[in-house]
Amino acid sequence: MPPIIPRWEWRGFDEAWGDVETTIGRLTPQRVHESTEVYLLSVGESDVVKVRDELMDVKHLVSVDADGLEQWVPVMKAGFPLSVADVGTVLEALGVEPPPHLVRTAYTLPELLTEVVAPDPDLLAVEVHKKRSRYTIGGCMAELTEVTAGRSRTRTLAIESEDAARVMQAVRELALASRPNVSFARGLKALVEFGTKRYAVIDVGTNSVKFHVGARSADGTWRTLVDRAEVTRLGEGLQDSGRLEAEPMERTIGAIAGMVDEARQHDVAEIAAVGTAGMRTAANSADLVEAVRVRAGVDVEVITGDEEARLAYLATVAGIGRAEGSRVVFDTGGGSSQFTIGRADRVEQRFSVDVGAVRFTERYGLDGVVSADVLSAALSAIATALVRLDEQPEPDALVAMGGAVTNLAAVKHGLLEYDASVVQGTVLDRTEIDRQIEMYRARSADERRTIVGLQPQRAEVILAGACIVRTVLDKLGKDSLTVSDRGLRHGVLMERFGS
């Protein structure tokens, strides 16, 4: 019998693989094979346990290297009926204790499923149909598989070899290094939502209300179910009166109530709602809190600017990844901008300033065509309001989040429909931001609404938002920034519901 050699594996799950699929599509598959298998899943971390070709097949995770590659080795291929010892090996691989007394001396597959797996709430048997297409890429085996489990479908790409360096080289050549490595068992648990709980976050901003529903698997990984925003202009008139006006409040309360209803339709375990700059400054924000409580049964917690900045930074680090050197993360909203300075996942300083797109739109009439002089005056006022940045040294990296920058990124890419995977990680440089500022300056709000990629409801405030972003670049001495689609809502999700 030939020796068993562990193999290194990288695997990812996605319904569409974009450029990777185009690259693989140019190759001729060496083998296309369909099979139906039964996977045994555990709520906790476990080995990969499945039944294929009437054999119990167990692969054990040997190690994980510095690049996140996983080394797997087969430890069992046994025919049915399984001995009691083999059943014990299977349960050990799944990370669960065997029942005190296994009544049989051997188990057929139906007996194993009905008498051992089904009674244990921490185990689940899932029938999976696969269509696998196998290729060779960079000396590695690459397999693109269509996966169907009940009504759920996805696709998984695996790259494996005995040589970890060769696997990592292939992963880099396919531009997949930024994606997480997910074992088949973990990916399948996420697909069928085994051990999964759902949570919702509502972020009530000065210009828009953002809504996110995430599903957290038993291993702590998250999957987005809903992520959208509704522009309600809550801060309309706040600059002049210091109060939330009746009509913007009603729009916002209605939006929140609709989001709460949608969250409950998704059967979420909990809903967290937070309010930011507009609610911090308005004299009557308690009226909005009470109205939402009465209509939707949810309490809106008004958080401090520092807390908002910290949570946004947490989300950005998780979304873009740790990096060497200093990093400034800023989130510009309708009523304020939050800045967090740190290294890796360590926050060193954070603060909030009252610089927001709604404030400066109303102050300088930036919701339509404006002259070069007015634009210059607005930029000068924004620079004065951001004076606190003057004392900051140039960071190694600058990351921006919020509706202004995600819309700038969407316009840069010409997105007919918003695509978070495209926006995430987009680099915006001075030239592109200046191009868009000039485009918005010369157009009315209705004309801006025709621009591909721009969310129509942001037409009035996008110029002010772009000016704030441009000024931050100047203040910090950077030529470009990286866009994060992650924001406060993701930080709240991780902090409140991440464990």
CATH code, domain carrying 335: 3.30.420.150
| Measured CA distances, 339 to 207, 277, 311, 329, 398 (Å) | 18, 13, 11, 6, 10
Q: Tell me: do 346 and 398 sit in the same domain.
A: yes
Report the CATH number that the domain containing residue 111 is assigned in CATH.
2.40.320
**Per-residue pLDDT at 226:** 93
Residue 396 forms part of a structural domain = yes
Residue 2 located in a structural domain = no
Which of 192, 224, 248 is a domain's end point? 192
Does residue 445 sit within a domain? Answer: yes
The Cα-based distances of 312 to 86, 209, 230, 356, 406 in angstroms read: 49, 16, 19, 16, 15
Looking at the structure, tell me whether residues 185 and 291 fall in a common domain: no
Query: Which residue in 364, 401, 398, 399 sits closest to 380, CA to CA?
Result: 364
Residue 215 within a domain: yes
**Whole domain around residue 37: which residue ranges?**
7-192
Tell me which amino acid residue 192 is. Answer: V
On whether both 211 and 293 belong to a single domain, the answer is: yes
User: Are residue 436 and residue 341 in the same domain, yes or no?
Assistant: yes
Residue 263 shares a structural domain with residue 324: no
The verdict on 285 and 323 lying in the same domain is no
Q: Which residue has the tokens 């209705």?
A: 446
Identify the pLDDT of residue 43. Answer: 87
Residue-level pLDDT at 177: 85
* Residue 45: per-residue pLDDT: 81
Task: Mark which of 266, 288, 303 sits at the end of a domain.
Answer: 303
Query: What is the reported pLDDT for 322?
Result: 60
Q: What is the CATH number of the domain that holds 292?
A: 3.30.420.40
Show Cβ contacts of residue 327 under 8 Å, excluding neighbours closer than 6 positions.
341, 342, 343, 395, 396, 397, 398, 399
Instruction: Note whether 206 and 93 are within 8 A (CB).
Output: no
Is residue 425 domain-resident? yes
The total of structural domains in the chain comes to 3
CA distance 252 to 256: 6
Assess whether 143 and 240 both reside in one domain.
no
Do residues 180 and 206 share a domain?
A: no
Q: Is residue 322 in a domain?
A: yes
Residue 1 domain flag:
no
Contact present, 354 and 372 (Cβ < 8 Å): no
Structure-block tokens of residue 169: 């080289």
Q: What value does the CA radius of gyration of the chain take, rounded to a whole number of Å?
A: 26
Indicate whether 136 and 40 sit together in one domain.
yes
Sign for the CA dihedral angle at 425, 403, 471, 345 comes to negative
State the greatest distance between any 2 C-alpha atoms of the chain, in Å, as a whole number: 88
Rounded Cα gap, residues 440 and 24, in angstroms: 41
Per-residue pLDDT, 319: 77
pTM of the entire predicted model: 0.65
Q: Are residues 274 and 361 in the same domain?
A: no
Asked if residue 411 and residue 274 are part of one domain, the reply reads no
Q: Identify whether residues 149 and 268 lie together within a single domain.
A: no
Q: pLDDT digit of tens for each residue in the chain (499 aa)?
A: 467 889 999 999 988 888 888 899 899 999 999 999 999 999 888 899 999 999 999 999 999 998 899 999 999 999 999 999 999 999 999 999 888 778 899 999 999 999 999 999 999 999 999 999 999 999 999 999 999 999 999 999 999 999 999 999 999 999 898 788 999 999 999 899 898 889 999 999 998 999 999 998 876 778 889 999 999 999 999 988 999 999 999 999 999 999 999 999 999 999 999 999 899 999 999 999 999 999 999 999 999 988 888 888 888 887 776 667 899 999 888 888 989 998 877 888 988 899 999 999 999 999 999 999 999 999 999 999 999 999 899 999 999 998 899 999 999 999 998 888 899 889 999 999 999 999 999 999 999 999 999 999 999 999 999 999 999 999 999 999 999 988 899 999 999 998 6
| Domain-located, residue 166 | yes
E strands, 152-279, in order: 152-161, 197-204, 208-216, 222-231, 270-275
Domain boundary among 283, 303, 323: 303
